């Protein structure tokens, strides 16, 4: 079967397939590797920043509290801006995946250059990275109608474990649904997220900004697939999440 034919009969939109979701989670890990390593904040997992905000506030560490709060707000600004962009493109009947991915490629590439050349303070780069993470989280937050690991790692772990439990407990009560395949998809996303973080930290140990270069390269590959892909590309934003 040709790749073109396989693409035309996808069950889910391109950006909801397991490999695409795992790639996005991998990018998220790379982004987090840079922000956490440089300023101690998370680009994507905002629950970590909220805990840091509470802890730093209790400790009287104003600078750390400011960084954590800024990451949350900038992430929210990215999600907000992406929503407006998606609505504008939808009004004109246009797909949003390719433009969003291309925008991410451009911004992350610029940030990588600034990091490698030390052309800007880390806190400003971290803020921009969190903005990109908010954009990505809002645009591509589903995998086959389910949350993926850009913004909801806890939910992904819970769903993976819960589905495995249903599979093992099938002799007790069988609901007739598939469990192992979606559990495997969740596990793949989690592994990709962790791999992105680990590889990102290792890359940044060689030179600050290398994790951002890797992230831009992966995003460029996803953009190429989105431009060339046949059939539905954008995630089904209103699909119910189990």
Q: What is the pLDDT of residues 1-11, one digit of tens each?
A: 333 443 445 67
Q: How far apart are CA 167 and CA 173, in angstroms?
A: 10
Residue 238 domain flag: no
Residue 242 domain flag: no
In this predicted structure, what is the pLDDT of residue 105?
98
By the 8 A CB rule, do 224 and 60 touch? no
pLDDT grade for 166, boundaries at 50, 70 and 90: confident
CA-based nearest residue to 31, from 91, 69, 78? 78
Tell me the CA end-to-end span of the chain in Å, nearest whole number. Answer: 32
Alpha-helix residue ranges (DSSP H) falling in the chain: 3-8, 18-39, 46-59, 62-91, 97-117, 122-139, 153-168, 180-206, 210-228
In this predicted structure, what is the pLDDT of residue 150?
72
Q: How far apart are CA 17 and CA 27, in angstroms?
A: 16
Residue 136 domain flag: yes
Number of domains present in the structure of the chain: 1
Whether the per-residue pLDDT at 240 is higher than 80: the answer is no
Residue 53 domain flag: yes
Residue 233 domain flag: no
The boundaries of the domain holding residue 197 are 13-228
Average pLDDT over residues 172-194: 87
Q: Over pLDDT 90: what percentage of the chain?
A: 62
Whether the per-residue pLDDT at 82 is higher than 70: the answer is yes
**DSSP code of 14?**
G
**DSSP code of 238?**
T
Residue 237 domain flag: no
Q: How far apart are CA 41 and CA 64, in angstroms?
A: 9
By the 8 A CB rule, do 107 and 135 touch? no
Residue 184 domain flag: yes
């Amino acid at each position: 079967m040709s790749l073109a034919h396989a693409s035309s009969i996808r069950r889910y939109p391109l950006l909801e397939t397991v490999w695409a979701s795992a790639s996005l989670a991998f990018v998220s890990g790379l982004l987090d590797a840079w922000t956490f390593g440089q300023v101690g904040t998370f680009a994507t997992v905002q629950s970590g920043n909220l805990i840091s905000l509470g802890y730093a506030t209790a400790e009287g560490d104003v600078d750390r509290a400011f960084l954590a709060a800024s990451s949350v707000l900038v992430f929210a600004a990215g999600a907000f801006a992406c929503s407006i962009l998606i609505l504008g493109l939808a009004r004109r009947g246009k797909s949003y995946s390719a433009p969003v991915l291309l925008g991410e490629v451009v911004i992350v590439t610029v940030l990588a250059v600034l990091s490698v050349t030390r052309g800007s303070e880390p806190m400003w780069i971290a803020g921009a990275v969190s903005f990109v993470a908010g954009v990505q989280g809002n645009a591509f937050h589903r995998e086959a109608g389910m949350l993926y690991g850009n913004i909801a790692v806890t939910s992904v772990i819970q769903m993976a474990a819960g589905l495995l439990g249903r599979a093992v407990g099938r002799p007790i009560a069988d609901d007739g649904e598939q469990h192992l395949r979606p559990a495997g998809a969740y596990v793949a996303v989690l592994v990709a997220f962790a791999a992105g973080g680990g590889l990102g930290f290792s890359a940044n140990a060689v030179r600050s900004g290398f994790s951002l270069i890797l992230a831009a390269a992966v995003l460029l590959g996803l953009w190429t697939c989105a431009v060339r892909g046949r059939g539905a590309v954008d995630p089904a934003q209103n699909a119910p999440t189990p």
